[in-house]
Amino acid sequence: MAMEMRLPKVRKPLSETLGRDSKKHLVVPGDTITTDTGFMRGHGTYMGEEKLIASVAGSVERVNKLICVKALKTRYNGEVGDIVVGRITERRRSAEDELAMRGFLQEGDLISAEVQAVFSDGAVSLHTRSLKYGKLGQGVLVQVSPSLVKRQKTHFHDLPCGASVILGNNGFIWIYPTPEHKDEDGGGFVANLEPVSLGDREVISRLRNCVVLLVTQRMMLYDTSILYCYEASLPHQIKDILKPEIMEEIVLETRQRLLEQEG
Amino acid sequence: MASVSLSEAEKVYIVHGVQEDLRVDGRGCEDYRCVEVETDVVSNTSGSARVKLGHTDILVGVKAEMGTPKLEKPNEGYLEFFVDCSANATPEFEGRGGDELGTEIANTLYRIFNNKSSVDLRSLCISPREHCWILYVDVLLLECGGNLFDAISIAVKAALFNTRIPKVRVLEDEEGSKDIELSDDPYDCIRLSVENVPCIVTLCKIGCRHVVDATLQEEACSLASLLVSVTSKGVVTCMRKVGKGSLDPESIFEMMESSKRVGKVLHVSLQSLLHKEESLGPKRLKVGFLG
C-alpha cells in the first residue's frame, strides 16, 4: 500500500517555468485596455467614456485592429456546431415521454450531442441526429474548464494508444475503450456492461491522469497534446503521474515536443 | 454528504476496476492520494493545521481556554469539538444544509476521543475542581472531495501536535485565596502528547472488495462503509458503519484487519512529517492560503 504525505510547496508563476520573455497583458473587469479609439472591440471588451474597458478577467489578445480579452476561466457559452458531453439531470414529464424515452435514457446518463441553436438567454438546444452521437457507455469522465478545450475540426478522437476520447466544448472530457467493430449498418447504442480488459483500463487511467495533469498546468487540450503527454508519462507508474515533481518533468517534455512540432 | 450522480455504465466500470485492483486514477485498493499537511497556519489560535487530500481541504484550529472541570471528572480538562461545513465546499451546504453532516462528524470525533488514553486529560488540569484547560477544536470544511473523516482526523491530530498551552502557576496567599499567574515568556508552554491520538480510516465496500480513500465517484458506487478509528499501535478505539447497504461478518473482519495495517502506515507517515516540519524551525517558509 502506498501512503505519501508531504509539506505544501509554494506555487511558481508559470512564466518563470517557461522562461518567457514577453509577459502577457493581464486585465480584470473594469481595467482600461487602451484609450486609442482606432481599435475594433472583440469579445470581453466594451466601450465606455472614450476608452476600451475589459469586461472579463483574462489576457489581452490583439490581431491587427481587433482587440479582445480571452478569459482564463469561463462558464461554457454555446455556439452552433459545438460538440458537448452532458449528463441528464431532469426531464420533462409527459405521457409520450414516459412511454418512449424512459426505457432508453435515465436521469444520470451521459450523452454526446451537437448544439443546434442558441437562445438569447444563453440556453442551448441539442440534437443527436447522427449515429456518432447518443448515449455513452462505460468510461471515465473528467470535468475541466471550457476555456482549455481547443476548437478543432473534430472532437472525436481514436488515439493510437488504444482508447478513444471525446473532447466536449463544454469542458466534459469522456475517455472510453475503443469499440471493437464499428457497425456501419446497425449503429445506435447497445448496452455493453461487460468488464473492460485490464490493458484497456490501464490506458484509460493513464489518459485520465494525463488530462488532469495538462489541466493543472493550464495547457490547451487537443488530441496531439494529450498523445504527447501520454507518451511522456509511459516511463512512470500511472498513480505517480500526479505527483508534483513527476508532473513538472512530463509537462516539460510535452511542451518541448509540441514546440518542435510547430516549429 | 456531497454526492455526484453517475450513469449505470460508469458505476459498472468503477466496480469492475476495483475488482481488478486498478481504480480510475491508477491507484490500488489500499493506496491513498497524495496528502499535504501544514501546521501553524492561523496565527490567533493555540494550534492549527491544514490538510489537503486530493480535492478535500480541511482547516482545524485549536483554542485553549480556562474553565471549570466537569463534575464527574474533577482532575481532568476536556476537549470540545465543533465542525462547520462551509458553503464554499459544495452548494448543498448552503444555509443550514451542512448542519446535519457537521453534527455527525462532531459526534464521531467525540466518540473516538472518549477513552482514557487518546489524550492525557490530567495534564490539562490546573487545580482540581476549580480550574482546567478546555481545548476547543474547530474544524472547517473548505472543500469536499471524498473521504472527509480521514482528512479531518489527520488534521485534528496535526493541530493537537501543534498546540501550545501557556504554563500557569497557582499561587496561594495567606488568606487562602488563589491567584493564577501566567508565565512571562511567551514561548514557555506545555505541549500535548499525540502518541495515542487515533486517526480514522474509512473503508468503502465496492462490489466484493473494499477501498481506502474513496473519491466522490467511488463513494457513489458504494452502499456500505466502515469507519474505523486506529491508533499508531494498531489499537482500534471505535468503529462505525455508515450507508444503507449491509456488510457480512467476514467482510467486517477483513476490513478491520485492513484498517489496522493502513492505519499504522498512516500514523508513521504523519509523525515523521510533523517532526520534519518542526525541525525546520522558524526558518520554515509558510505557504498558507496564498502560496
Q: What is the pLDDT of residues B212-236, one digit of tens each?
A: 999 999 999 999 999 999 999 999 9
Q: Do B35 and A107 touch (CB under 8 A)?
A: no
Do the Cβ atoms of B31 and A2 come within 8 Å? yes
Question: Higher model confidence: residue A261 or residue A11?
Answer: A261
pLDDT band at B56 (very low <50, low <70, confident <90, very high): very high
pLDDT at site B110: 94
Taking CA atoms, what residue in B is nearest to A236? B26
Average pLDDT over residues A213-222: 91
Q: Which residues of B touch A136 (CB under 8 A)?
A: 7, 9
Of B199 and B285, the one with more pLDDT: B199
* Distance of residue A137 Cα from the nearest chain B Cα, in angstroms: 5
- The predicted model scores a pTM of 0.90
pLDDT per residue as tens digits for the range A16-50: 555 555 677 889 999 888 888 788 888 888 888 88
Distance (Å) from the alpha carbon of A116 to chain B's nearest alpha carbon: 24
Q: Give me the total of CB pairs closer than 8 Å, taking one residue from chain A and one from chain B.
A: 120
pLDDT at residue number B87:
87
- State which amino acid sits at residue A21: D
- pLDDT of res. A25: 85
Q: Which residues of A touch B8 (CB under 8 A)?
A: 106, 108-109, 193
pLDDT of res. A130: 86
Residue A6 and residue B30: Cβ atoms within 8 Å?
no
What does the pLDDT look like over A105-159, one tens digit per residue?
888 899 999 999 999 888 889 998 888 898 999 999 999 999 899 889 999 999 9
**Cβ–Cβ of B276/A7 closer than 8 Å?**
yes
Examine the pLDDT at A185 and tell me if it is beyond 60: no
Task: Quote the CA–CA distance of A83 and A225 in Å, as a whole number.
Answer: 19
At A15 the pLDDT is 62
Q: Which of residues 185-214 of B touch A (CB under 8 A)?
A: 212
CB contact (8 A) between residue A1 and residue B262: yes
Contact by Cβ (8 Å): A225, A149 = no
pLDDT exceeds 60 at position A186 = no
Contact A196 B291 (CB under 8 A): no
Instruction: Give the A-side interface with B, CB within 8 Å.
Output: 1-11, 87, 89, 106-110, 136-141, 191-193, 195-196, 198, 201-202, 205-206, 208-209, 237-239, 241-243
What sign results for the dihedral spanned by CA atoms A193, A198, A204, A208?
positive
- Residue A183 predicted with pLDDT over 60: no
Average pLDDT, whole number, for chain A? 87
At residue A228, the pLDDT reads: 95
CB-CB contact of B269 with A4 (8 Å):
yes
Tell whether the model's pLDDT for residue A10 goes beyond 90.
Answer: no
- How high is the pLDDT of residue B161? 95
Query: pLDDT band at A182, cuts 50/70/90?
Result: low
Residue numbers in A near B273 (CB within 8 A): 5-7
Cα separation, B282 vs B102, whole angstroms: 34
pLDDT (tens digit, 9 = 90+) per residue, A166-177? 999 999 999 999
Task: Please list every residue in chain A whose beta carbon sits closer than 8 Å to the beta carbon of residue B7.
Answer: 87, 106, 108-110, 136
Name beta bridge partners: B61. B48, B138
Report d(CA B139, CA A262) in Å as an integer.
50
- Select from A3, A4, A196 the Cβ nearest to the Cβ of B16: A196
Least confident range of B28-42, B182-196, B264-278: B182-196
Categorize the per-residue pLDDT at B6 as very low, low, confident or very high, splitting at 50, 70 and 90.
very high
Per the CB < 8 Å rule, is B266 touching A3?
yes
Supply A57's cell numbers: 478577467
Please name the residues between 63 and 92 in chain B that touch chain A, using a CB distance below 8 Å.
none
Average pLDDT over residues B27-37: 93
What mean pLDDT is predicted for residues B256-282?
93
What is the three-class DSSP state of A184?
coil
Higher-scoring residue by pLDDT: A184, B255: B255
B10/A110 CB distance under 8 A: yes
pLDDT-wise least confident of A47-56, A109-118, B13-22, B153-162: A47-56
Element (H or E) spanning A98, and its range? helix A95-100
At residue A214 the predicted structure's pLDDT band, cuts being 50, 70 and 90, is: very high
Band of residue B95 on the pLDDT scale cut at 50, 70, 90: confident
Contact: A138, B31; criterion CB under 8 Å:
no
Question: How far is it, in rounded angstroms, from Cα B108 to Cα B201?
Answer: 12
Residue A188 is predicted with a pLDDT of 59
Instruction: Give yes or no for B129 touching A (CB within 8 A).
Output: no
- Report how far residue A63's alpha carbon sits from residue A66's, in angstroms, rounded to the nearest whole number: 5
Contacts of B10 in chain A (CB under 8 A): 110, 138-141
ipTM: 0.89
Mean pLDDT of chain B: 91
Helix (H) or strand (E) holding A166: strand A163-167
Band of pLDDT at residue A181, cut at 50, 70 and 90: low
pLDDT at A14 over 70: no
**Whole-number pLDDT of residue A16:** 58
In chain B, residues with a C-beta closer than 8 Å to the C-beta of A2 are: 27-28, 30-32
User: Nearest C-alpha of chain A: how many angstroms from B260?
Assistant: 12
Q: So what's the pLDDT on residue A97?
A: 75
Contact across the interface for B265 and A1, Cβ inside 8 Å: yes
The C-alpha of A80 sits at a distance from chain B's nearest C-alpha, in angstroms, of: 27
Sign of the Cα pseudo-torsion (A238, A204, A226, A169, in order): negative
Counting residues of chain B whose pLDDT is more than 90, the rounded percentage is: 72
Please report the DSSP string for chain A in residue order: ----EE---PPPPHHHHHT-SSPP-EE-TT-EEES-TTSEE-TTEEEETTEEEE-SSEEEEEETTEEEEEESS------TT-EEEEE-------HHHHHHTTTT--TT-EEEEEEEEE-TTS-EEEE--STTSEE--S-EEEE--GGGBPP-S--EEE-TTSEEEEE-TTSEEEEEEPPSS--SSS-S-----SPPPHHHHHHHHHHHHHHHHHHHTTPPB-HHHHHHHHHHHTTS-GGGTTSHHHHHHHHHHHHHHHHHHH-
From B24, B37, B262, residue closest to A5, measured CB to CB? B37
